[in-house]
Amino acid sequence: GRSTSDFCTCRIVDETPPIRVSINTPVARSLARSIIRNGLKPCPVVKLGTSDMNLLAGITESIVGFGPGRSELSHTDREEISIAELELGARIYRDAIMEFFKT
């Protein structure tokens, strides 16, 4: 029988290097404090895939990825976010910015 490789080709046209960020950077600390201030427990994770972080890491090491909602549902047909999660995310962003500029 024929295999997929008989009629398909694959060519890599771009490569984005992975990034690992220390939780001790100013932005990460500010975000963690903001999350705590809003009644949650910070839970650093390794994010798979590419984001703006990968692209901007060349100009700063103090960068984080954060968003409201359940990250395991991101980019799936079950991805959703409630108004309450959106409002909480906005408060966390606001408080993280205030915390960052306070230090």
HEC secondary structure over the chain: CCCHHHCCCCCCCCCCCCCCCCCCCHHHHHHHHHHHHCCCCCCCCCCCCCCHHHHHCCCCCCCCCCCCCCHHHCCCCCCCCCHHHHHHHHHHHHHHHHHHHHC
Task: Report d(CA 77, CA 80) in Å as an integer.
Answer: 9
Residue 103 has pLDDT above 70, yes or no: no
What pLDDT score was predicted for residue 19? 85
Mean pLDDT of the chain: 89
Residue 101 has pLDDT above 80, yes or no: yes
Q: Which domains does the chain have, with CATH numbers?
A: 16-102 (1.10.150)
What pLDDT score was predicted for residue 53? 87
The structure tokens 């994010």 sit at 47
